[in-house]
Amino acid sequence: MRLHVSAKSGVPIYVQLVTQIRQLVAAGRLPVGSELPTIRALAEQLLVNPNTVARAYRELEQAGIVTARRGLGTVVTESGSPMGKKERVERLRDRVDGLLAEAGQLGFEFDELMELMRTRHDRHAATRGENHE
């Protein structure tokens, strides 16, 4: 599981962690029963305070995405199972509509927007060690 956080993003690090883990679960990349790294291990990996990771894990547990058991670790629960394709599309539809509207207001042509999307996608895929060509 690769997670990336940025102290410069303006979004609290624990929120970045919650969001990314939710997305991994929703996409099926963290299936039910998957064990999350220990708080200490993830904090060391990301160079953040262990309390930050603990807060993210608590938020995920309160949302029913994971279950934490002393001595057994933190695992993805049944209620955190993946969304279907239709649900994932619906979740992004408003964001895409907003992006298209803003791009139009800024004078971007569709081809320019698509090139920007491809560039950003490739950059994100490279940081995750993926290749989707």
**Residue 30, in any domain of the structure:** yes
Asked if 26 contacts 83 with a C-beta cutoff of 8 angstroms, the reply is yes
**Residue 107, in any domain of the structure:** yes
- Tell me the H-state helices in the chain: 13-26, 39-46, 50-62, 85-105, 110-127
Query: How many whole angstroms separate alpha carbon 27 and alpha carbon 89?
Result: 11
Placement of tokens 């239709």 in the chain: 86
Query: CB under 8 Å, gap of 24 or more: what pairs does 78-82 form?
Result: 78/32, 80/25, 80/30, 80/32, 81/25, 81/31, 81/32, 82/25, 82/26, 82/27, 82/28, 82/31
Residue 110 has pLDDT above 80, yes or no: yes
Quick one: 93 and 70 in the same domain?
no
Quick one: 55 and 90 in the same domain?
no
Asked if 88 contacts 26 with a C-beta cutoff of 8 angstroms, the reply is yes
Into how many domains does the chain fold? Answer: 2
Q: Where a domain ends, among 80, 101, 117?
A: 80
Asked if 43 contacts 49 with a C-beta cutoff of 8 angstroms, the reply is yes
As beta bridge partners, residue 66 has: 76
Quick one: 73 and 43 in the same domain?
yes
pLDDT, one tens digit per residue, over 27-59 is: 889 998 999 999 999 999 999 999 999 999 999
Domain that holds residue 114: 85-127
pTM: 0.64
pLDDT, one tens digit per residue, over 1-34 is: 889 999 999 999 999 999 999 999 988 899 989 9
